[in-house]
């Protein structure tokens, strides 16, 4: 079986700044791959290239057999297979939870109202928010809003879910609920590519960890290896900083 996601030789520059310097990465169906690395290393840009929010300069991205980087690809159709969850939730503030979950299903997938609402309610239940259909985002905690954003992405029934630091904007006490929803998705067999600073989550849930620095993958492997026993100096110093933020070099 071919991998769910294959990224090959991916390059991206903004003007003179080369942000991705040839990234290769494979994610098998049902795998969770966590991407860690310092600020500015290109993690978000990599995810944004996987759902073509950014156009790579070179290289290819294949998701479930469809080459997104093929100039003739139907971009909207291809993007539908990839769900994305951002740090800042990006819910529509003027729409209820139910409307947030049904709008793209109706406009993009052409689902009728009843079907879209049925899918939305099932996914709200999945993230522990059954009964919150009528709430507006502002009435929810950050953790609840992020779980709504996850339910919204799931309602499009993507084959792959991308998460870009989904818990970084949350108060510490709200992080656990979001991580447990993600853990449950992983257990259900969702293919996930997750940028995160939550090393405990990466250790427990990831099948594979990529450490990025300066636009390249410096080290990759099972979490016990990359986080538990890193080989490269850059990985070691990054982990020392993340795992012990008060440490002075
Ligand atoms: N649209 C853009 N135009 C110009 N430069 C950009 C753009 N997007 C990102 N960059 C630059 O590319 C580099 C990588 O950014 P990216 O957001 O991918 O890093 P990151 O690893 O996600 O960092 P963080 O951990 O802070 O989120 C940074 O130097 C950033 O300033
Ligand atoms: Mg980022």
Q: How far is the CA of 74 from the centre of ligand 1 (A)?
A: 27
Q: Has residue 167 been placed in a domain?
A: yes
Q: How many separate domains does the chain show?
A: 1
Closest C-alpha to ligand 1, atom 30: 40
Helix and strand numbers (H, E) in the chain are: 9, 10
Nearest CA to ligand 1 atom 25: 39
Please work out whether the CB of residue 55 comes within 6 Å of at least one atom of ligand 1: no
Distance CA 205, CA 166 (A): 15
Smallest-distance ligand from the CA of 38: 1
Q: How many residues are listed for the chain in this entry?
A: 249
Say how far apart CA 80 and CA 111 lie, in whole Å.
Answer: 14
Looking up residue 82, the CATH number of its domain turns out to be 3.40.50.300
Question: Does the beta carbon of 44 sit less than 6 angstroms from any atom of ligand 1?
Answer: yes
Whole-number Å distance, alpha carbon 24 to ligand 1 midpoint, is 19
In a domain, 248, yes or no: no
Give the distance (Å) from ligand 2 centre to CA of residue 240. Answer: 20
Supply 243's token pair.
Answer: 């795992």
The reported pLDDT for the residue numbered 1 is 65
92 domain residue, yes or no: yes
**pLDDT tens digits for 75-130?**
888 888 899 999 999 999 999 999 999 999 999 999 999 999 999 999 999 999 99
Tell whether ligand 1 has an atom less than 6 A from the beta carbon of residue 42: yes
Q: What is the pLDDT of residues 4-45, one digit of tens each?
A: 999 999 999 999 999 999 999 999 999 999 999 999 999 999
20 lines ligand 1 (CB under 6 A): no
Do the strands 160-164 and 208-213 form a parallel or antiparallel pair, or are they unpaired?
unpaired
Residues 42-64: b if buried by 16+ CB within 10 A, e if exposed: bbbbbbbbbbbebebeebebbbb
Please tell me the distance from the alpha carbon of residue 214 to that of residue 209, in angstroms, as a whole number. Answer: 17
pLDDT in tens, 149-202: 999 999 999 999 999 999 999 999 999 999 999 999 999 999 999 999 999 999
110 CA to centre of ligand 1 in angstroms: 34
**Residue 78 is encoded by which pair of tokens?**
């291809």
How far is Cα 226 from Cα 141, in angstroms, rounded to an integer? 34
Pocket test for ligand 1, best of 20, 36, 44 (most atoms within 8 A of CB): 44
Q: Is residue 191 part of a domain?
A: yes
Provide the residue range defining the domain that includes 66. 5-243
pTM value surpassing 0.85? yes
Confidence check: pLDDT of 62 > 90 = yes
Q: How far does the centroid of ligand 2 lie from the alpha carbon of residue 39, in Å?
A: 7
Residue 45 in contact with ligand 1 by CB distance below 6 A: yes
């Amino acid at each position: 079986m071919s991998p769910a996601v294959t990224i090959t030789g991916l390059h991206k520059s903004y003007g003179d700044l080369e942000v991705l310097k040839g990234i290769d990465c494979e994610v098998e169906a049902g795998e969770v791959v966590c991407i860690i690395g310092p600020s500015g290393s290109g993690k978000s840009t990599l995810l944004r290239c996987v759902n073509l929010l950014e156009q790579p300069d070179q290289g290819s991205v294949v998701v479930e057999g469809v080459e997104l980087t093929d100039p003739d690809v139907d971009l909207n159709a291809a993007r539908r297979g990839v769900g994305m969850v951002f740090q800042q939730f990006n819910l529509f503030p003027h729409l209820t939870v139910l409307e947030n979950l049904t709008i793209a299903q109706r406009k993009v997938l052409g689902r009728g109202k009843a079907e879209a609402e049925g899918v939305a309610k099932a996914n709200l239940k999945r993230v522990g928010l059954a009964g919150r259909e009528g709430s507006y985002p502002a009435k929810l905690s950050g953790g609840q809003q992020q779980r709504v954003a996850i339910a919204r992405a799931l309602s499009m029934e993507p084959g792959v879910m991308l998460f870009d630091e989904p818990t970084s904007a949350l108060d510490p006490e709200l992080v656990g609920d979001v991580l447990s929803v993600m853990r449950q998705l992983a257990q259900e067999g969702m293919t996930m590519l997750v940028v995160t600073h939550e090393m405990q989550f990466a250790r427990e849930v990831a099948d594979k960890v990529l450490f990025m620095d300066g636009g390249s993958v410096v080290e990759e492997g099972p979490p016990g290896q990359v986080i538990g026993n890193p080989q490269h100096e850059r990985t070691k110093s990054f982990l020392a900083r993340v795992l012990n933020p008060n440490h002075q070099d």
